[in-house]
Structure 1
Amino acid sequence: MRYALSVLSLIPFFAVMLAQGPGQNPQTGPRSQTRPPVADASPVVPAIEIAPSVTHHTLTLPSGAVTYTATAAQIPLRNEAGEVECRMFYVAYTKDGAEAHNRPVTFAFNGGPGSATLWLHMGSLGPKRAPMNDDGTLPNPPYEAVDNMDSWLDFTDVVVIDAPGTGYSRIARPDLASKYFGLQPDIAAFSSFIRNWLTSHKRWRSPLFVAGESYGGIRGSGLSNALFRSGVALNGFVSISGTSNFMTLDGMRGNDSTYISFFPSMAACAWYHHKLAPRFKDVASVVRETQDWIDKEYAPALQRGDSLSPKEKEHIADKMSEYLGISKKYCLGANLRVTERQMFRELLRDEGLTIGRYDGRLTGKEELLVGERGSGDPSDDATTAPFTSSLNDYLQNDLAIKTDLPYLNSGNVRPWAEPEGSYAETASDLRSVLARNQHFRALYCCGYYDLACPLNGTIYTVNHMGLDPVTRSHVSFQYYPAGHMMYIEKSSRKKLHDDVAKFEADCLSGR
């Protein structure tokens, strides 16, 4: 989930990499005055291997009881000399008694870069989930995982994977970071993982899907193509609040696609918080109307830049104020380019509230009514504690994992290597596999109130992939009345389950 990596996340990773492991000198107190200290000629490398744990469970879903096996383990990635460079942690949920060649497998991951996959694992896909309130707000602690009635296990086996340096996945030595931390190294690591998993679990004949959230859209788009080029043909790719081109998210002078991308989602948040006129009846109509206005007026106005007359600027600012629920003066002061970060504070400034980045429905209280930056992300605050606590308890007690490694929600993967002089994008990779494999399908699942990876940015990217009409029909969209993690909201969690179940069934039937 986590698109921006906190500086605080650097601390636990290095603490693990530098911690002493088995074989350290047992003399932990002051040195004995009667015995000289023993010199240690080589530094102690902490153990990164976790013993596999296989457990058996039954989950009673609305569709019936599912008996399944949970395998929590690591897959080693080796260099050409056969040395282990990285161990990637995963939990595989496989239905007992199912015919392997008929049973789909969905490989799932979050993004970041630097995020573990606890969010999808404990929010949507797995048999257990974090105990969120039905509307996605923070529940009362303590937190214990509950049965997930919307688990994907009723239609697919699920493999949740932690990226190198996150969760329980670790590289063997710090000097290997450049081989795993970067756009292409990351895709290569996941490609190797999937091929190794298919071999070790004898699942080469199974239908295959990948599902990625947030930066997982970048990874999943590139991975779909990398796997195809290596001889692994996926049936489909599910992008959950995913992006495949950072150009639509990261602004710079002259790049107006970011304002086109975020505007409908900001308008959706304004509608949700009752800042729009009564004529707007539902969020879907707000988004449709703003998209139409962008195409006809806003995008052409942005393209003209400073050549707009004062009268034309006044007209655009009037419409922006109508759709965003903020003052015309503010829109003019922003030169008709209001960013999502400005919107966090400005929309509910008079109430002393900030809206969430991952979910604009959620709000947090601010001390001051001035300033551009909030004191935090209330949508992040709502999810971090329930997901972290319930996951760690679940891994230890239900999945019986025994390790001294801390589970890293976010890992230190900086510096992250990206194409020099350009935006990170894998839309070209996705276009390639869509064009070359006419059986392959892509589904984009987008939350209306997502101010991290907004829906219009995804639409913009797909519309610029150069697809012919037939291939373009192999890409579909679904929308949810929630944010980036749409599955924290009860109705959206069920809709996501149903949408992905239908998508995978349609892929397998050739529709």
Structure 2
Amino acid sequence: MADESTKATPQEASSAEAPRHPYASVPANVARGVPNPASARLSWTDGERTIDYVSTAAHLDVRDDSGRLEGKMFSLSYVAVDGEGQADAARPVTFAYNGGPGSASVPINFGGIGPRRVETDGTSHLAASARTTDNPHTLLKDSDLVFLDALGTGWSVVADGCDPATAFSVDGDADAFARAIMDWLEKNHRWSSPIYLFGESYGTFRNAVLMRLLGERSVKVTGVVMLSAIWDWVQTLPGEDLYYLGMMPTYAAAAQFFGRAGAGVDPDEWFDRAMDFAEDVLAPALLRGDRLGAERERDVARQLSEFVGLPAGFLARRHLRVGLTEFRRRLLCDEGRVCGRLDMRFCSDEPSPMQESLDWLGGEDAADDAVEASWTNAFRAFCSDELGYEGPSVYLGQNWEHVGHTWVWQHEVPGTGEKVGAPNVAGDVALAMRRNPTMKLAIIGGRYDAATTFWNVRHDLSCQFLSPALQERVTWLRYGCGHMAYVDEPTLAAMDRDIHGFYERA
């Protein structure tokens, strides 16, 4: 899946070594088992403009300061070239990735901003015959692109002799990406290029640490794009009221989409009303707990019911707190359907009565089932047929079981003096921006994203108290889409225009 773990309960560090990748047994001093790089010169067009580019599939070295190999990170790059096949070092270069932890970068590439894209069909499941075409909304128009697979995902590997817990952690993951990015910049002679980071979901958590870490290593970052952001891991913990507050506007958006609430109201206006209700009415009610009183609780439940489409009595019995899995099952239960998680507009038939495991249902998602396999198939065909890249038969597009389950969440936000197991990396974002006030930040979210809810990231950054000058460096973009914004073609077109403006901005 694209981002299976987001909103899951953080796991403690594990001393057990994760099962091996198909070629994880690469000796630390040789590249045996890693395929040779492969490149091809190709052309992109939208019918009006043409860009010649070189695409390369290759592995980047992740080495520690002593030169010891820690892993090989798979990259798929697209670099625009002139008539003589030369790249332009003045063009930006964007390093892009998905999240998880445990997800490879195929979705954001062949689903979203790469030069090739699988055509989608609204909220319908794609057939095996789904077409891959030149992407009219590719970010290649504004920047060269390098898509990176985190160690332990895709075709990226941890070297023999290296503890996977080093790479499968908040700090180790960011460190590995920093080293791979520097390896690519060095090998491709692009140190003078404007450098951008483009992360989705946990990729935004990674971005937060990485944008600070690269600055500390004298790598100047020009801009950072946060798509479907999550920064405060506390909001994922059981019983946290920040979780319920963040979910409420997204529940309201889903209820309106399915005709259970908000009739006749503009969807953006409805979402804004829900955001205001979450802060002005629901937050004080949750804060008071059983001191709220039964009468006031019933009144708030009645108002909440009008937003989210569930019965007021049920909401009062749950003390105004409804988890995502329960909401997904209840909203359309009279139709025998379950709505999605990554994008609540997608639906599937309800499971069998014997399938009562909430953990299992939490991982079942029509929004992911509809598109994921088609993206991976397109990626594999591109690497094999057009680049001649001989990758292993197994590509770990989603390796949450072996990566996310062993993830080490301990992280010290600089200046706090303490490592915690559920960090709020909004502090890393703010510190990176204060240190580099020329850097710009774009934050993109969707109304129907129940994996990384929009209210939470607005709340997280507002609590960093950035100066007015730094706040002007932040671009907020909210669309009528889910977690993977690019699935929705109207959103992709709008995002194309807005991101073009972001890249042009000084």
Verify same fold: TM over 0.5.
yes
Equivalences, count: 477
The structure 2 residue matched to 1:202, chosen from 189, 194, 208, is: 189
CA displacement, residues 73-101 of structure 1 (integer Å, 9 cap, x when unaligned): 11112245534221111011111127634
The structure 1 residue matched to 2:158, chosen from 160, 171, 195, is: 171
CA displacement, residues 212-238 of structure 1 (integer Å, 9 cap, x when unaligned): 000001001111111111101111110
Does 2:58 correspond to 1:67?
no
Q: Which moved more, 1:261-270 or 1:94-103?
A: 94-103
Instruction: Tell me the residue number matched to 1:225.
Output: 212
Distance 1:186 1:358, change over 3 A: same
Does 2:118 correspond to 1:130?
yes
CA displacement, residues 157-209 of structure 1 (integer Å, 9 cap, x when unaligned): 11100111111111122742122110000000011111111111011111111
Alignment of 1:409-420 (within 5 A): 409-411=397-399, 412-413=402-403, 414-419=405-410
The structure 1 residue matched to 2:331, chosen from 338, 344, 347, is: 347
Amino acid at match of 2:259: H
SS at match of 2:172: helix
SS at match of 1:445: strand
Which segments of 5 or more consecutive residues in structure 2 lack a partner in the other structure?
9-15, 411-418
Q: Which moved more, 1:289-298 or 1:136-145?
A: 136-145
Amino acid at match of 1:67: D
Instruction: Tell me the residue number matched to 2:370.
Output: 382
Amino acid at match of 2:20: F
SS at match of 2:490: helix
Instruction: Tell me the residue number matched to 2:20.
Output: 14
Query: 1:364, 1:481 → 2: CA distance?
Result: 20
Which segments of 5 or more consecutive residues in structure 1 lack a partner in the other structure?
22-41
Does 2:249 correspond to 1:264?
yes
Does 2:202 correspond to 1:215?
yes
Query: 2:69, 2:277 → 1: CA distance?
Result: 55
Query: 1:443, 1:277 → 2: CA distance?
Result: 29
Answer yes or no: is the 8 Å Cα contact 1:349–1:369 preserved in 2: no
Answer yes or no: is the 8 Å Cα contact 2:153–2:398 preserved in 1: yes
Query: 2:99, 2:262 → 1: CA distance?
Result: 37
Q: Deviation above 6 Å: which 4+ runs of structure 1?
A: none
CA displacement, residues 443-492 of structure 1 (integer Å, 9 cap, x when unaligned): 11101100100111111111112212221222121111110011111111
Query: 1:252, 1:464 → 2: CA distance?
Result: 22
Query: 1:372, 1:68 → 2: CA distance?
Result: 48
Answer yes or no: is the 8 Å Cα contact 1:54–1:399 preserved in 2: yes
Amino acid at match of 1:131: E
Does 2:504 correspond to 1:505?
yes
Distance 1:406 1:144, change over 3 A: farther
Query: 2:101, 2:335 → 1: CA distance?
Result: 34
CA displacement, residues 248-274 of structure 1 (integer Å, 9 cap, x when unaligned): 3x1333x31111111111100110000
Instruction: Tell me the residue number matched to 2:413.
Output: none
Instruction: Tell me the residue number matched to 1:290.
Output: 274
Query: 2:152, 2:498 → 1: CA distance?
Result: 32
Query: 1:497, 1:81 → 2: CA distance?
Result: 42
Shift of 1:50: 1.8
Distance 1:75 1:368, change over 3 A: closer
SS at match of 1:93: strand
Instruction: Tell me the residue number matched to 1:451.
Output: 450
Aligned-residue sequence identity (percent) comes to 27
Does 2:225 correspond to 1:238?
yes
SS at match of 1:14: coil
Query: 2:206, 2:182 → 1: CA distance?
Result: 16
Instruction: Tell me the residue number matched to 1:119.
Output: 107
Distance 1:228 1:382, change over 3 A: same
Amino acid at match of 1:475: V
Answer yes or no: is the 8 Å Cα contact 2:126–2:371 preserved in 1: no
Shift of 1:144: 4.8
Instruction: Tell me the residue number matched to 1:308.
Output: 292
SS at match of 1:85: strand
Answer yes or no: is the 8 Å Cα contact 2:256–2:263 preserved in 1: no
Instruction: Tell me the residue number matched to 1:425.
Output: 424
Amino acid at match of 2:455: N
CA displacement, residues 366-403 of structure 1 (integer Å, 9 cap, x when unaligned): 14589684482111111122112222112111222113
Distance 1:501 1:63, change over 3 A: farther
Answer yes or no: is the 8 Å Cα contact 2:72–2:157 preserved in 1: yes
SS at match of 1:484: coil
Distance 1:137 1:174, change over 3 A: farther
Amino acid at match of 1:16: P
Instruction: Tell me the residue number matched to 1:96.
Output: 81
Instruction: Tell me the residue number matched to 1:24.
Output: none
CA displacement, residues 37-90 of structure 1 (integer Å, 9 cap, x when unaligned): xxxxx9xx9944121111001111255011111111111122455342211110
Q: Which moved more, 1:384-393 or 1:429-438?
A: 384-393
Shift of 1:16: 1.4
SS at match of 1:477: strand
Answer yes or no: is the 8 Å Cα contact 1:261–1:460 preserved in 2: no
Answer yes or no: is the 8 Å Cα contact 1:131–1:386 preserved in 2: no
Instruction: Tell me the residue number matched to 1:334.
Output: 318
Distance 1:368 1:180, change over 3 A: closer
Computed over aligned residues only, the root mean square deviation of the Cα atoms, in angstroms, reads: 2.4
Alignment of 1:402-413 (within 5 A): 402-404=390-392, 406-411=394-399, 412-413=402-403
